[in-house]
A = this chain, B = another copy of it.
Amino acid sequence: MTRTAAATAAYDTDGGTFSFPAGKTLRLESGASLGGLQIAYQTYGTLNDTRSNAILVCHALTGDQHAASTHPVTGKPGWWNRVIGPGLPLDPERYFIICTNVVGGCMGSTGPSSVDPKTGEVYGLTFPVITIADMVRAQAMLIEALGIETLLAVVGGSMGGMQVLQWAADYPEKLFSAVCIAAAARHSAQNIAFHEVGRQAIMADPDWRGGAYEKAGVRPEKGLAVARMAAHITYLSEPALQRKFGRELQRDGLSWGFDADFQVESYLRHQGTSFVDRFDANSYLYITRALDYFDLAAQHDGVLAQAFRKARGVRFCVLSFSSDWLYSTAESRDIVRALNAAGCRASFAEIETDKGHDAFFLDEPQLDRTLRGFFASTAQARGLA
């Protein structure tokens, strides 16, 4: 286990890359297994003596372990700096917060851009297809290696929320609480459709080279940028786009051409081109596939409540955003209904906002208040107050 200390945080930050013991493989849902597994992670705060204050934060599709530390590639603040920090709902002075890069990712955890120990070459498309359950199994192995028996909470938004649900299904005995934000128990046809557009955009790029672009010394940047642009529209609500950009122009007057005339075009192009600097195209294929394959009920004879039947001891909090059309409130309600049917304790709130799916990253005071209240009462119930 190597460790690197981050210099910029005002609180205790640690992390590094956890290498699985030699001979220990990650058994995958596909039937394949991964050897030589590495999981990159970051921690904020200190584990207490009773090891009872650990919170696992799960990231979304294009996120990574830098939830509350400066991103080493972009130099930007952590993606959940608004929630994790002194005085914030997830306070590193109280909790030991862990965030791992998912298996299949590209920020240090084993993924398609890693070297296959069997061949000595970059995996590319020879990397096995992974699932949300595989991501969670790797996290559970890391948590065990860190000496943590029970997590005070597992929390995440979007794909992070799906990991939370999978944790509750697969490791309920290791959870004291679970917070699922802006997620769904399965990917809908529309969700799959948008991901398929992104994948086709990447695979249409001749620099993708059937996934073997690293070997060729190129990157399918144009295709990946288009994929990001299409996905990004789904992260924002129509009213938010209208409020933020409307039909505002970049310059005085139209160009009467194909330059970015409208501010929303320029914004989207920027989202695309900046994304390719920090993300790997094959990771995008694998992680979107993991999301599309996600269907928690299907893993339990088609009955979602069955997934939670052993999770009666877990305190659940389910949150949705009123203007989220990627994973709508209706899908959060389905989760809550299943939790209730399974006899689990679940609190639910739909947060009124026009910011759409991405609201969980953004300035959303009601989200902050809800998380603060939930974590405070959870800590108290756990005897940490």
Residues of A at the B interface (CB closer than 8 Å) are 30, 32, 125, 128-129, 186-190, 192-194, 196-197, 199-201, 203-206, 222-223, 225-226, 229-230, 233, 238, 241-242, 244-247, 254, 256-258, 260-262, 264-265, 268-269, 272, 285, 289, 292-293, 295, 298, 325
Contacts and interface: CB of A to CB of B under 8 A. Distances in A.
A325 B226 CA distance: 22
Closest 10 CB pairs of A and B: A204-B222, A189-B241, A189-B245, A30-B256, A129-B256, A189-B264, A196-B265, A190-B238, A197-B229, A201-B226
Given A257-B129, A264-B193, A200 B188 contact: no
Contacts of A194: 233
A196 to B, nearest CB: 5
A268 B193 contact: yes
A254 B28 CA distance: 14
A369 B204 CA distance: 44
Nearest to A266: B196
Nearest to A264: B189
A111 to B, nearest CB: 15
A208 to B, nearest CB: 11
Given A192-B264, A245-B189, A293-B254, A200 B269 contact: yes
Given A204-B222, A226-B226, A229-B200, A192 B258 contact: no
8 contacts: A125-B258, A189-B241, A189-B262, A192-B247, A193-B268, A196-B268, A196-B269, A230-B230
B226 A265 contact: no
A177 to B, nearest CB: 29
Nearest to A125: B258
A252 to B, nearest CB: 14
A330 to B, nearest CB: 10
A269 B188 CA distance: 17
Given A233-B197, A247-B295, A268-B197, A192 B256 contact: no
Given A254-B293, A292-B262, A293-B254, A246 B200 contact: no
Nearest to A248: B189
A289 B258 contact: yes
A10 B238 CA distance: 45
A222 B202 CA distance: 10
Contacts of A247: 186-189, 192, 295, 298
A262 B292 CA distance: 9
A196 B203 CA distance: 19
B204 A226 contact: yes
A374 to B, nearest CB: 29
Contacts of A128: 256
A193 B241 contact: yes
Contacts of A199: 258
B225 A190 contact: no
A265 B204 CA distance: 15
Contact of A189 (B186, B244, B261): B244
A206 B205 CA distance: 8
Contacts of A261: 292
Nearest to A195: B265
A27 to B, nearest CB: 14
A205 B204 contact: yes
B189 A242 contact: yes
